[in-house]
């Protein structure tokens, strides 16, 4: 029987009873594509410090922020308001954002493939704080990915190798006040599914996130201020032949016209050469639902669909 709400799980239970936690995480993601994680080890103080810095970032003058637009399809640095739209939607989302990516070792084969990070000189503590949070979220996402690997019967090395030098993105998002904006056609984030393997959303500053359930109903995703919303993306859905769904979700416009919203999703990606072919144990009688493709090829395809990269 389908539950009425998405699961809210304590990461402390992973040590107390790994088998039970694994089952609950897997079943929660199978049902809704979303779960909420609490007791994850990132302190409220760290989260507050990071959000304070993100607010300072977007308070910089537009002219200053535009200096950090790399022109690389939003891969790193600043992407201005109105640049991104959901796949299949011609109307731009009501948001601006900043991307931070992987810091590679000097001997990585992806040097020159992944764009270099961009750090705003106006905020001297930005690299240390945001880079530190990137690493914490990457480590946490790998822990959760290992749990899903156990549920799928995979060797621990499978996902470890897939996300080594992964092209993961930490997106710092600002949804400005909607007063005076075209809220009739655009919303803060139009319905979309995430591109990547797993997304960790670190306690947004306001409500508005909704998911589309299998019955076609929009459900509010409720989480506490120090909780993380976890969802599975298109890459995970392809690997598992939709056993773990990539659930469509959106951020609706607020009732209040004069309130901004900030959020900081971490998108866990594989390395660009990773094979996204369906896992053998997920094939079923009907075979694979998607043709083989690499993570890099799939990412390029999706970035073109959402308007960040020109075809």
Predicted local distance difference test score (pLDDT) of residue 85: 78
Beta strands in the chain (DSSP E): 8-10, 34-38, 77-79, 96-101, 169-175, 189-192, 198-202, 209-212, 218-220, 228-232, 249-251, 261-263, 265-268
CB 308 within 8 A of CB 99: no
Cβ contact 85:190 at 8 Å: yes
Whole-angstrom distance, CA of residue 27 vs CA of residue 35: 10
- Give dist(CA 278, CA 250) in Å, integer: 27
pLDDT of res. 194: 96
CA-CA-CA-CA torsion sign (149, 226, 57, 103): negative
Number of domains in the chain: 1
Q: Say if 279 falls within a structural domain.
A: yes
Taking a C-beta distance cutoff of 8 angstroms, is the pair 38, 32 a contact? no
DSSP label of 63? H
Whether residue 114 lies inside any domain: the answer is: yes
Q: Is residue 1 included in any domain, yes or no?
A: no
Which string of DSSP letters, residue by residue, matches 21-89?
HHHHHHHHHHHHSEEEEES-S--HHHHHHHHHHHHHHHTS-HHHHHTTB-SSTTSSEEE-TT----TT-
Here the CATH number for the domain that contains residue 125 is: 2.60.120.330
3-state secondary structure (DSSP) of residue 52: helix
CA distance 248 to 213: 8
The DSSP bridge partners found for residue 247 are none
Q: Which residue range(s) make up the domain with 187?
A: 8-257+268-305
Q: Does residue 262 belong to any structural domain of this protein?
A: no
- Beta bridge partners of residue 77, listed in sequence order: 69, 99
Gap between the Cα atoms of 174 and 176, Å rounded: 6
Q: Evaluate whether residue 310 is within a structural domain.
A: no
Residue 263 lies in a domain: no
| Domain-located, residue 125 | yes
pLDDT at 138: 98
How far is the C-alpha of 8 from the C-alpha of 10, rounded, in Å?
A: 7
The pLDDT profile of the chain, 311 residues, written as one tens digit per residue, is 456 789 999 999 999 999 999 999 999 999 999 999 999 999 999 999 999 999 999 999 999 999 999 877 778 999 998 887 777 888 888 899 999 999 999 999 999 999 999 999 999 999 999 999 999 999 999 999 999 999 999 998 999 999 999 999 999 999 988 888 877 888 898 899 999 999 999 877 788 899 999 999 999 999 988 999 999 999 999 999 999 999 999 989 887 777 899 999 999 999 999 999 999 999 988 899 999 999 999 999 988 887 777 76
> Per the domain annotation, does 248 fall within a domain?
yes
Name the DSSP letter for residue 69.
B
- DSSP H/E element including 99: strand 96-101
Query: Which pLDDT belongs to residue 1?
Result: 46
């Amino acid at each position: 029987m389908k539950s009425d709400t998405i699961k809210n799980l304590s990461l402390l239970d992973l040590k107390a009873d790994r088998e039970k936690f694994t089952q609950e995480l897997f079943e929660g993601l199978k049902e809704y594509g979303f779960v909420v994680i609490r007791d994850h080890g990132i302190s409220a103080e760290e989260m507050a410090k990071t959000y304070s810095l993100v607010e300072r970032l977007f308070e910089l003058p537009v002219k200053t922020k535009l200096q950090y637009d790399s022109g690389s399809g939003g891969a790193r640095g600043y992407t201005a308001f109105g640049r991104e739209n959901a796949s299949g939607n011609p109307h731009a989302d009501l948001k601006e954002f900043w991307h931070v990516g992987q810091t590679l070792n000097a001997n990585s084969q992806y040097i020159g493939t992944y764009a270099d990070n961009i750090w705003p000189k106006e905020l001297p503590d930005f690299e240390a704080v945001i880079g530190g949070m990137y690493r914490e979220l990457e480590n946490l996402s790998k822990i959760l990915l290992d749990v899903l690997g156990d549920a799928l019967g995979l060797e621990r090395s499978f996902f470890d190798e897939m996300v080594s030098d992964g092209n993961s993105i930490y997106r710092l998002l600002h949804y400005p006040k909607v007063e005076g904006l075209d809220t009739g056609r655009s919303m803060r984030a139009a319905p979309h599914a995430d591109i990547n393997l797993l997304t960790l959303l670190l306690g947004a500053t306001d409500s508005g996130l909704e998911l589309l359930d299998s019955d076609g109903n929009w459900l509010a995703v409720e989480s506490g201020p120090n909780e993380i919303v976890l969802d599975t993306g298109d890459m995970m859905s392809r690997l598992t032949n939709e056993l773990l769904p990539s659930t469509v979700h959106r951020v609706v416009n607020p009732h209040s016209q004069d309130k901004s919203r900030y959020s900081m999703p971490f998108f866990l990606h594989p390395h660009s050469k990773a094979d996204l072919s369906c896992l053998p144990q997920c094939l079923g009688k009907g075979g694979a639902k998607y043709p083989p493709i690499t993570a890099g090829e799939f990412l390029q395809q999706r970035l073109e669909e959402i308007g960040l990269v020109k075809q």
